[in-house]
Amino acid sequence: MPRRLATGEAGFAAAFEDLVNSKRETETEVGDVVAAIIAAVIEGGDSALIGYTRRFDRFDPAETGLAIGAAEIEAAVARIDPETRAALELAAERIESFHARQLPTDFEINDPAGLRLGLRWTSIDAVGLYVPGGTAAYPSSVLMNALPAKVAGVSRRVMVVPTPDGVVNDLVLAAARIAGITEIWRIGGAQAVAALAYGTESIAKVDKIVGPGNAYVAAAKRHVFGKVGIDSIAGPSEILVVADAQNDPSWIAIDLLSQAEHDTAAQAILITDDADFADAVVASVEDHLATLPRAEIAAESWRAHGAVIVVGSMEEVPTLVDRLAPEHLELAVEDPDALSNRIRHAGAIFLGRFTPEAVGDYVAGPNHVLPTARTARFSSGLGVIDFMKRTTTVAADADGLGAVGPAAIRLAETEGLDAHARSIAVRLNRR
Amino acid sequence: MPRRLATGEAGFAAAFEDLVNSKRETETEVGDVVAAIIAAVIEGGDSALIGYTRRFDRFDPAETGLAIGAAEIEAAVARIDPETRAALELAAERIESFHARQLPTDFEINDPAGLRLGLRWTSIDAVGLYVPGGTAAYPSSVLMNALPAKVAGVSRRVMVVPTPDGVVNDLVLAAARIAGITEIWRIGGAQAVAALAYGTESIAKVDKIVGPGNAYVAAAKRHVFGKVGIDSIAGPSEILVVADAQNDPSWIAIDLLSQAEHDTAAQAILITDDADFADAVVASVEDHLATLPRAEIAAESWRAHGAVIVVGSMEEVPTLVDRLAPEHLELAVEDPDALSNRIRHAGAIFLGRFTPEAVGDYVAGPNHVLPTARTARFSSGLGVIDFMKRTTTVAADADGLGAVGPAAIRLAETEGLDAHARSIAVRLNRR
């Protein structure tokens, strides 16, 4: 059974603190192995990449080529059924459309002192997208990572995907084509991250690497950070559902399980103001588990990390939610907007009784790459600006420099940086 | 002498590549020491903090208190001269005003399928600002780090600053008051970073830590990353000056030295289309060095890392600049805007003959915390949104879910995530 807390009970504060601080990730220590692989790819380029791929993925890229070409992609697209293809296309269209709204605007101002100040956004030139192989290969993740880069204007959008035993994943290739990926390489693991960061004879290096991966991929991304940009390292999925007694317990139960089924380390939490409703949801979870294909994973997540919190009043909810800062937050209540407006820390919020979180995983439009492990306190889901960067501009003429320069000289002298001061002073004396 | 390259010469490509890839940072390996200090502060709280401060800063915070209180700050402000205070106030006003323009806007849309989709920004709750002690204590950096957090709406803006031998830096305290810092603690090093990230009896933990520091501070920030957010780890300063022969060589020479004087690992590069002008600048650098207080540092930086690149035509400039992706870029040419618009990768651009980079370090308004070591390819200077985060919202009713739900069910089934599919299906069947 998941842990059960009630705000009215003695010991709630300590039990809640324990829930907030509970660790679910088991970090595998693979730093040394990863460092060796990266060094080998820097040194050996393609031949190192081919060697690791032979060893870890059990096929020979020297025969197939490292790249997955247009014909192979077309063949994969042809193999998927029309309904799935239509679903991918609808998802892509909606994701692209929502992300296009995020494009930032430049500005330039003429300030009272006579300086012209500006800020402008430009896209990153080249981005690498890591896509896991095997069962963890999700076409929806290809769309969610690739489309914001496309919207941002990134010109090289490079995908790497391991193909264990040489078997390509048709859905992943179809999603890549729909999302406008410009290159695909059949490589994975730390060696793929190294190739993206440092380049090889075949693969030109990129400027930023995004996308999920196993412990080796995560360690490799940390290792190359600084040389290239990386996205955040995602932890196990989380859902926090706030539901009143007017909901169907079965709907809320399956919402909790929709995240629990991801991973035994996932976390599903219910907050409700009705203890009987909480009981009904807990019972319904068991009913669903009886027929879910991934019941074993979901059940372990629910029992080990799940929680039910009964509050005395929904007024207590915002404070609890902000402390948990969940990746996904469902507000299945009468006036979800009013409650949402009082919440500050959550990756994505799903409003009302007809908005299960899963709709956001696929087709709603906002990104499903979201901050986990309470990092929503200080970080955001993936967005268009993660594939762009800002440059500020300053333009002064003699008058403008005359207006603000003396203060800058004073501060530079105060800080003991005389060349700074002199670079302004020489210009003021020549007016 | 700095290295000299000319685009017309044989071997230019290789020499330029070498310049682009030259390493200037010497990383000190302090990870183990830092990990031990952080563990001790987590375990020991205030008493560990006091112990480390006694040992490293040679005074007893048990006597002075860990906090620097209002009276002590007022006394420091009273000790600084009025001209410096006015300069700090002008700088703060201009920085705050430019950063206020960066405040992002929320949006909410009703899409054709009947879903309501939104994106909203909220500020981080609590931010810690690390300020170095001793000679590297720059009041301008206090303004540049604290004011964007204030503009963003961060309510707790906490400063930590080591006070070696118990001596406070009046200018830093004055800048902190002007920048609206809400708490100041007289601690530094890895122990201060640990206190900010994990909290102690006296110091409440924060959500993000920014600001420059030595190798121990940088390692500590890396160590606590994930638990809290951090800013980027800044490398040695850089300036790239693009200047035609119409400039006064002395002005350009002192601009190069204004960054060279920061650090022996700093880098100053001149690009010009006139070899005689290049000679004149190089000669003028020597003249300035004869009278600069920090000549020793500046000369070592210039000789070890400086470079002069003579181009055949200014048309060649954008490609070279984008490869170097400099932290600071000066365009001292006739039409700087035209050239600037062709450049994609630079932290900050200074336009025209009367805009020395130093004006941007203090009073122009844009931030002086900027991406170094070619990271302007994928990252940005510090800004208001670094102290905020985004939450996306989705609201569907029965009709909206009916419109997009079937595609989501299809994709969820394809990915083998049946609880995801069922969470939508149960709602569609109940319509």
Kindly determine whether residue B411 and residue A373, on different chains, have CB atoms separated by under 8 Å.
no
pLDDT digits 0-9 by tens, B168-185: 999 999 999 999 999 999
Among B323, B342, B364, which residue terminates a domain? B364
pLDDT digits 0-9 by tens, A380-401: 999 999 999 999 999 999 999 9
- Residue B39 covered by a domain: yes
Domain ranges, residue A412: 396-429
Q: Provide the sign of the torsion angle of the four alpha carbons A50, A52, A55, A59, taken in this order.
A: negative
Q: Strand pairing partners for A330?
A: A241, A350
Query: Within this chain, do residues B278 and B241 fall inside the same structural domain, yes or no?
Result: yes
For residue B169, give every residue at least 6 positions away whose Cβ sits within 8 Å of its Cβ, in sequence order, or none.
Answer: B76, B133, B137, B161, B163
Kindly determine whether residue A393 and residue B349, on different chains, have CB atoms separated by under 8 Å.
yes
* Gyration radius of chain A's alpha carbons: 26
In A, residues 96-125, which contact B (CB 8 Å cutoff)? 97-98, 101-102, 104, 107, 109, 111, 113, 115-117, 119, 122, 124-125
Burial B229-243 (b: 16+ CB within 10 A, else e): bbbbbbbbbbbbbbb
Asked whether the predicted pLDDT for residue A171 surpasses 80, the reply is: yes
Is B259 annotated as a binding-site member?
Answer: yes
Q: Tell whether A58 is within 8 A of chain B (Cβ).
A: no
Residues of B in contact with A253 (CB under 8 A): none
| Residue B431: predicted pLDDT | 41
Query: Within this chain, do residues B184 and B275 fall inside the same structural domain, yes or no?
Result: no
Q: Tell the burial category of A376 from Cβ atoms under 10 Å away from its Cβ (0-12, 13-18, 19+).
A: buried
A127/A333 Cα distance (integer angstroms): 41
| Residue A31: predicted pLDDT | 83
What's the whole-number mean pLDDT along residues A306-329?
Answer: 97
Please state the φ and ψ torsions of residue A310, each to the nearest 5 degrees.
-100, 120
Burial B300-320 (b: 16+ CB within 10 A, else e): bbbebbbbbbbbeebeebbeb
Q: Tell whether B155 is within 8 A of chain A (Cβ).
A: no
Give B106's pLDDT tier (boundaries 50, 70, 90): very high
- Contact indicator for B253, B291 with CB cutoff of 8 Å: no
Q: The tokens 């372990």 sit on which residue?
A: A300
Nearest to A379 by CA among B228, B279, B254: B228
pLDDT digits 0-9 by tens, B31-43: 889 999 999 999 9
Report chain B's terminal Cα–Cα distance, integer Å: 79
pLDDT digits 0-9 by tens, B371-399: 999 999 999 999 999 999 999 999 999 99
Kindly determine whether residue A349 and residue B401, on different chains, have CB atoms separated by under 8 Å.
no
Nearest to A84 by CA among A186, A23, A173: A173
Conformation bin of residue A312: beta by default, left when phi > 0, alpha when psi is -120 to 50? alpha
Helix (H) or strand (E) holding A171: helix A170-178
Query: Within this chain, do residues B270 and B197 fall inside the same structural domain, yes or no?
Result: no
| Residue A369: predicted pLDDT | 96
Pick the more confident residue, A431 or B342.
B342
Among A230, A257, A284, which residue terminates a domain? A230
Query: Within this chain, do residues B354 and B408 fall inside the same structural domain, yes or no?
Result: no
Asked whether the predicted pLDDT for residue B25 surpasses 90, the reply is: no
A136/B416 Cα distance (integer angstroms): 10
- In sequence order, which ranges of A229-325 are alpha helices (DSSP H)? 249-260, 275-289, 295-305, 317-324
A9/A426 Cα distance (integer angstroms): 72
The size of chain A, in residues, is 431
Kindly state the tokens that stand for A68: 């997955």
- In sequence order, which ranges of B328-417 are alpha helices (DSSP H)? 336-340, 357-362, 398-414
| Residue A430: predicted pLDDT | 53
Query: Within this chain, do residues A190 and A89 fall inside the same structural domain, yes or no?
Result: yes
Q: The tokens 């992943």 sit on which residue?
A: A172
Q: Provide the sign of the torsion angle of the four alpha carbons B74, B80, B85, B91, taken in this order.
A: negative
Give B160's pLDDT tier (boundaries 50, 70, 90): very high
Please state the φ and ψ torsions of residue A309, each to the nearest 5 degrees.
-120, 120
Give A295's pLDDT tier (boundaries 50, 70, 90): very high
- Residue B379 covered by a domain: no
Q: Tell the burial category of A70 from Cβ atoms under 10 Å away from its Cβ (0-12, 13-18, 19+).
A: exposed
C-alpha distances (whole Å) from A31 to each of A39, A220, A222, A345, A383 are 12, 8, 9, 32, 29
For residue A425, what is the domain's CATH number? 1.20.5.1300
| Residue A27: predicted pLDDT | 66
Nearest to A175 by CA among A145, A205, A206: A145
Query: Within this chain, do residues A49 and A66 fall inside the same structural domain, yes or no?
Result: yes
Query: Within this chain, do residues A316 and A172 fall inside the same structural domain, yes or no?
Result: no
Which DSSP symbol is given to A312? S
| Residue B419: predicted pLDDT | 97
Kindly state the tokens that stand for B107: 């949006």
What's the whole-number mean pLDDT along residues B47-52?
Answer: 97
Q: Provide the sign of the torsion angle of the four alpha carbons A60, A65, A66, A68, taken in this order.
A: negative
B150/B266 Cα distance (integer angstroms): 30
For residue A158, what is the domain's CATH number? 3.40.50.1980
Arithmetic mean of pLDDT over chain B: 95
Query: Within this chain, do residues B109 and B166 fall inside the same structural domain, yes or no?
Result: yes
Query: Within this chain, do residues A40 and A156 fall inside the same structural domain, yes or no?
Result: yes
What's the whole-number mean pLDDT along residues A354-383?
Answer: 97
Burial B6-28 (b: 16+ CB within 10 A, else e): bbeeeeeeebbeebeeeebeeee
Total count of domains within chain B? 3
- Contact indicator for A194, A38 with CB cutoff of 8 Å: yes
Residue A165 CB neighbours (<10 A): 9
What share of chain B has pLDDT > 90, as a percent? 92
- Residue A373 covered by a domain: no
Strands in A183-185's sheet, in edge-to-edge order, are A183-185, A156-160, A126-130, A208-210, A229-230
Query: Within this chain, do residues B156 and B286 fall inside the same structural domain, yes or no?
Result: no
| Residue A415: predicted pLDDT | 94
Weakest mean pLDDT among A7-11, A247-251, A252-256 = A7-11
Helix (H, G, I), strand (E, B) or coil at B192: helix
Give B26's pLDDT tier (boundaries 50, 70, 90): low
Query: Within this chain, do residues A195 and A302 fall inside the same structural domain, yes or no?
Result: no
Asked whether the predicted pLDDT for residue A254 surpasses 70, the reply is: yes
CA of B191, closest CA in chain A: separation in Å?
22
Q: Tell whether A416 is within 8 A of chain B (Cβ).
A: yes
In A, residues 195-254, which contact B (CB 8 Å cutoff)? 207-208, 226, 228-229, 233, 248, 250-251, 254
- Residue B325 covered by a domain: yes
pLDDT digits 0-9 by tens, B83-95: 999 999 999 999 9
Weakest mean pLDDT among A6-10, A252-256, A283-287, A400-404 = A6-10
Q: Strand pairing partners for B122?
A: B389
Asked whether the predicted pLDDT for residue B27 surpasses 70, the reply is: no
- Contact indicator for B349, B376 with CB cutoff of 8 Å: no
Arithmetic mean of pLDDT over chain A: 95
CA of A234, closest CA in chain B: separation in Å?
10
Asked whether the predicted pLDDT for residue A431 surpasses 50, the reply is: no
- Residue B389 covered by a domain: no
Give A135's pLDDT tier (boundaries 50, 70, 90): low
- Residue B371 covered by a domain: no
| Residue A216: predicted pLDDT | 93
pLDDT digits 0-9 by tens, A208-222: 999 999 899 999 998
- Residue A385 covered by a domain: no
| Residue B1: predicted pLDDT | 83
What's the whole-number mean pLDDT along residues A247-261?
Answer: 98
Among B174, B209, B230, which residue terminates a domain? B230
Which DSSP symbol is given to B116? E
| Residue B184: predicted pLDDT | 98
Query: Within this chain, do residues A16 and A56 fall inside the same structural domain, yes or no?
Result: no
Asked whether the predicted pLDDT for residue A142 surpasses 90, the reply is: yes
- Residue A314 covered by a domain: yes
Mutate which of A25, A241, A359 to disrupt the B interface (most B C-beta within 10 Å)?
A359
Kindly determine whether residue B352 and residue A396, on different chains, have CB atoms separated by under 8 Å.
yes
B132/A129 Cα distance (integer angstroms): 38
Asked whether the predicted pLDDT for residue B339 surpasses 60, the reply is: yes
